[in-house]
Amino acid sequence: MADSKNVLVSGATGKQGGAVARELMAHGYRVRALTRKPLSDPARALGKLGAELVQGDLDDEPSIARALAGAWGAFSVQNTWEAGVEKEEVQGKRFAKAAREAGVQHFVYSSVGSAHRKTGIPHFDNKWRVEETIRSLGFPSYVVLRPAFFMENFLSPWFKPGIDGGKLMMGIKPQTVLQMIAVEDIGKYGRWAFDNHQKLNGRAIDIAGDARTMPGTGRIIGEAAGKTVEFVQVPIEEVRKASTDYALMLEWFDRVGYNADIPGTSRESGIAPTTLPEWAGRADWS
């Protein structure tokens, strides 16, 4: 029998995988951290926390099989913006199938909020197809988590340079309310999904921690950063020139938007959601 506390975490040196790995290790799980670069600083940091570093690549099926051997659980996440929509889907399906073949008992997949709602957004719809594959594989138990927009995106190269100059620039309407989540909360929900594998078996759960307009978000970030940050609506056609996929997502935010039940999921899980002011107050805006 595989140790019931032994979990392989993919994307362990990234945001979501790293948050899940740290949360699991802090609560007694033995974590194998799948990484392409076990000598990298993020991987070494996980190793110091107690993770077993295993070298592997989501495009290399034999390396995935080796990493999964003997694992009781697996956490699966892929990166659209790194892999591309088609390749991400292939990676997600490959990892799930390898996990089933390796005898993994509990599988947790990080999808995206509203993946099931026929959004027409390429990097949402591909995750729905990965979800469907997972459902078809017959895992003894599995859970799908569907996080909303990451608060950490505001620290990324997409937004941070503008914020440094006092402008939060995004191609959505000023009145649009956007659900968002702190990555650390994804880690907490990840542990919840492993702790409660029997109770949550077969569930797909949309998760978020706060909901704000972009003018309000700019004010909150500005207060945390000690400066005035004004919202600037970027013309959607300018966004489309850079990425049709991203533009489709922003248009969907305006038209439909995420619909996670923030208070209901918090009550069920016992996880207090991180609000945007709490997250921004801890972030490094220097």
What is the per-residue pLDDT across 132-163, written as a single tens digit (0 to 9) for each?
999 999 999 999 999 999 999 999 999 999 99
Distance, in Å, from the CA atom of 122 to the CA atom of 72, rounded to the nearest integer, reads: 32
Sorted by where each starts, the structural domains of the chain and their CATH numbers stand as: 6-147+183-207+259-270 (3.40.50.720)
What is the pLDDT, as a whole number, of residue 2? 42
When pLDDT is averaged across residues 95-115 and rounded to a whole number, the result is 98
Distance, in Å, from the CA atom of 262 to the CA atom of 136, rounded to the nearest integer, reads: 28
Residues composing the chain:
286
Per-residue pLDDT band for 277 (boundaries 50, 70, 90) equals: very high
